[in-house]
Amino acid sequence: MLMPDKKCRIGGFSLPEVILALAIVSIIILAVVQLFSVLNKQSQQGLNAFRLEQTLSEALSVIEKDILRAGYCAGRCRGEAVTLSADDTNSAQSCLTVSYDVNHSGHWDPGERQEGEFFSYRLRNGALEVQTGYARCRGKRWEKFFDPNEVTITGFQVSSQQGSRGTLYLLDLSGYWTDRPQIKQQVQRWVARRNHDAV
């Protein structure tokens, strides 16, 4: 029969040591969960800010393409290809109108036609608006560029500067997510015109 060795002592943790170890592990787990929560929130805010910047940049890309096309004419067009004016309701904001010969008719078609060759952009009541067919930001067919329930625009400015290779335009657009107004972005872009004004 085997006899237990009296010199061999079986070791282990006492109850207070186990409770202390569990308390320390619990505190560490809570700290990690808290840190993960904070990092997740910051990551979401960063992602939302990036998405807003992309959304505003896409709008500027559309306006940039119109400015690059401004002045194109397959014949003898008359008038200014790009006009900047103060908005009727807010003189601090810009109203931009560009024109180019979309249908290669040899002139810029104004008026109330859907395929008009004047394209206007303005800021009105927290929304970037666009309209086709009317010169110098006139007309009543303004449409919102963004869904106002999604994006609120706080600023739209266009300024021009004469450069060594022609006119440069600085586009400035700022806004925020309508349901998350703390996430704001501002995007700017310089655009050089390719075509000259018609005679």
Q: Confirm if 39 and 146 have CB atoms less than 8 A apart.
A: no
Q: How far apart are CA 197 and CA 94, in angstroms?
A: 20
Domain boundaries, the chain: 44-192
- CA-nearest of 70, 64, 93 to 82 is 70
Report residue 104: phi and psi, to 5°.
55, 35
What confidence score (pLDDT) does residue 166 get?
82
Mean pLDDT across the chain, nearest whole number?
85
- CA-nearest of 174, 162, 166, 161 to 193 is 166
What confidence score (pLDDT) does residue 152 get?
96
pTM of the model as a whole? 0.75
Highest mean pLDDT among 5-14, 32-41, 83-92, 142-151: 142-151
Tens-digit pLDDT profile for residues 122-169? 999 999 999 988 877 877 889 999 999 999 999 999 998 887 778 899
Question: Tokens at residue 51, please?
Answer: 């998405």
Alpha-helix residue ranges (DSSP H) falling in the chain = 15-69
Average pLDDT over residues 50-76: 92
Please state, for a pLDDT cut of 70, what percent of the chain lies above it. 86
Average pLDDT over residues 16-28: 92
Tens-digit pLDDT profile for residues 81-128? 888 887 666 666 678 999 888 888 887 876 665 567 889 999 999 999
- Higher pLDDT, residue 178 or 112: 178
Q: Which residues contact 161 (CB under 8 A, 6 or more apart)?
A: 167, 168, 169, 170
Average pLDDT over residues 175-186: 95
* First-last CA distance in the chain: 118
